[in-house]
């Protein structure tokens, strides 16, 4: 039986340069697929980390602050 290397949400977040809260949001929205939950921690396979790294990025965020047009 081959032992598989698994990574915590914190390790995945560091690898992808995002916060661990962002990784948890991806799990909650179904966009990230952890291997399993061990206790309160989610663990990921290297393949899932690669999939997350290479997924299409959505352009989003808050956007620029609009100037008051009526001034």
DSSP code of residue 29? T
Q: Delimit the domains of the chain by residue range.
A: 7-54
7-54 placed in CATH 1.10.1660.10: yes
pLDDT at 51: 96
pLDDT at 55: 86
Q: Of 20, 18, 8, 21, which is closest to residue 55 (Cα–Cα)?
A: 18
Say whether pLDDT at 48 is over 70: yes
pTM: 0.74
Say whether pLDDT at 1 is over 80: no
- Residue 26: band (very low, low, confident or very high) from pLDDT cuts 50, 70, 90: very high
């Amino acid at each position: 039986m081959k032992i598989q290397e698994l990574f915590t949400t914190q390790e995945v977040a560091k690898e992808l340069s995002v916060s661990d809260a962002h990784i948890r949001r991806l799990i909650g929205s179904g966009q990230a697929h952890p291997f399993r939950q061990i206790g309160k921690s989610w663990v990921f396979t290297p393949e899932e980390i690669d999939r997350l790294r290479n997924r299409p990025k959505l352009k989003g965020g808050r956007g620029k602050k609009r100037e008051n047009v009526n001034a």
